[in-house]
Copies of this chain bind each other. A is one copy, B any other.
Amino acid sequence: MNRPASPRLARRMSYIRPFHVMDLLARARHMESQGRCVIHMEVGEPDFPTPQPIVDAGMAALRDGHTHYTPAAGLPRLREAIAGHYHQRFGLDIDPNRVMVTPGSSGAIQLVMDVLVDVGDKVLLPDPGYPCNRHFVRLAEGTPVALDVTAENAYQPSVEQVVNGWDDACRMLMVATPSNPTGTCLSQAQMRQLSDAVVARDGVLVVDEIYQGLVYAGEEFSALALAESPIVINSFSKFFGMTGWRLGWAVAPLEVVEAMDRLAQNIFLAPSTPAQHAALAAFSPETAEILAQRREAFAERRDFLLEALQQLGFRFPARPAGAFYLYADSGAITDDSFAFAQRLLDEAGVAVTPGLDFGDNQPQRHIRFAYTNTIEKLEQGVERIARFIAR
């Protein structure tokens, strides 16, 4: 078997960090293959399978031969269904032509960055935050600028941070509500203030709403309700439980959608056809009922885990209200969350995600716990962590 030599890699690859959790995951899988039981509290996807009505719609699509390309912006019926969802859920009238269906929300973020960010443009991003976002900015040869968010502001950028961080090279602010990894939300008032600040500076606000629907306290809203509508990213992965299908969407001004469409024709051709047909069932009453039950289950797990971890000495200075993550201040327990996570896996068989994967803002004193596992498993996990800490 020949082993061809590697050519030199492009310079940008030095910026693309691997996820540390991937190594942990590989180690966890290895341990499991050796017969050890690992409790997973690191996984960023729902443990539930895709709701049956969506699976059924996918199977029906396959049976009916829907295996050819769709338009690059998605099936017109699906774009209409998504627009309809905003009407039903939030009372918003969204032109279906403003909806761009994409291969996962990842595809949507990539299109937004490539369409709007010029070489050298700065994009403000919260730290901690979803780590891929700064890589998408890099791929567009823009410059990601971290805003070190604090628990006092619910781990969300404050207007002052945006105003002080803005300069002539700034082009965009991207926020997420609920946020990964912190699970914290922006209020409608905060969102409006951020939007006003960005719009006043002729910038673009991008709002990641991919955990929409998974909010357990307070009333939900979409940033699309703002008078100056931002660009919104969403996904069928999290709330709708369709991670492996790779389907998301963006809502943007028509001219931006036209440009995204033109680019998507070239770089994606189209989103997955079976996934799109399946997603047509995502807004049905049967699916809604299943999703409401799952939301309840997530809320229950959150309440349990939050309480249990607090009793172990983890601190949650900003109350996590959504997604399926708890972002713990682990400073009272360890001053090196990365080493802690490694030892916790090796010695206690519990997998968690160290803060290091989410940025450079005090990562060593933070750990992300995901409650994408049953209450029973979470209970076992907490027991193991308790024993591990007590040693």
Enumerate chain A interface residues (CB-CB to B < 8 A): 1-13, 16-19, 22, 45, 49-50, 55, 58-59, 62-63, 65-70, 93-95, 103-104, 106, 110, 114-119, 121, 131-132, 135-136, 139-141, 204, 227-229, 241-246, 253-256, 259, 262-263, 265-275
Decide if B243 touches A69 in the complex (CB within 8 Å): yes
Given contacts A104-B268, A269-B246, contact A255 B6 (CB under 8 A): yes
Q: Which of chain B's residues have a CB closer than 8 A to the CB of A65?
A: 49-50, 55
New contact pairs (4) apart from A2-B227, A58-B274, CB-CB < 8 Å: A10-B118, A58-B62, A114-B139, A274-B275
Q: Which of A7, A9, A22, A117 counts the most chain B CB atoms within 10 A?
A: A7
Pair B45/A140 contact, Cβ less than 8 Å: no
CA distance in complex: A101, B18 (Å): 18
Q: Give every chain B residue within 8 A of A66 (Cβ-Cβ).
A: 244
A55 touches B45 (CB 8 A): no
Q: What distance in Å separates the Cβ of A370 from its nearest Cβ neighbour in chain B?
A: 13
Q: How far is the CA of A230 from the CA of B209 in the complex (A)?
A: 41
**Distance to closest chain B CB from A239 (angstroms):** 14
For A69, list chain B residues within 8 Å (CB). 45, 243-244
> Within the complex, which residue of B4, B9, B93, B244 is in contact with A229, where a contact is CB–CB below 8 Å?
B4
B residues less than 8 Å from A256 (CB atoms): 6-7, 9
Indicate which residue in B1, B229, B267 contacts A110 across the interface (CB closer than 8 Å): B267
The CA-CA distance from A139 to B285 in the complex, in Å, is 42
Min distance, Cβ A35 to any Cβ of chain B, angstroms: 20
Chain B residues, Cβ within 8 Å of A244: 66-70, 270, 272-274
Contacts of A243 in B (CB 8 A): 67-69, 273
A241: B residues at CB distance < 8 A: 67
Chain B residues with Cβ below 8 Å from A95 are 1, 3
Q: Is the CB–CB distance between B141 and A7 below 8 Å?
A: no
Complex Cα distance A58/B274, Å? 10
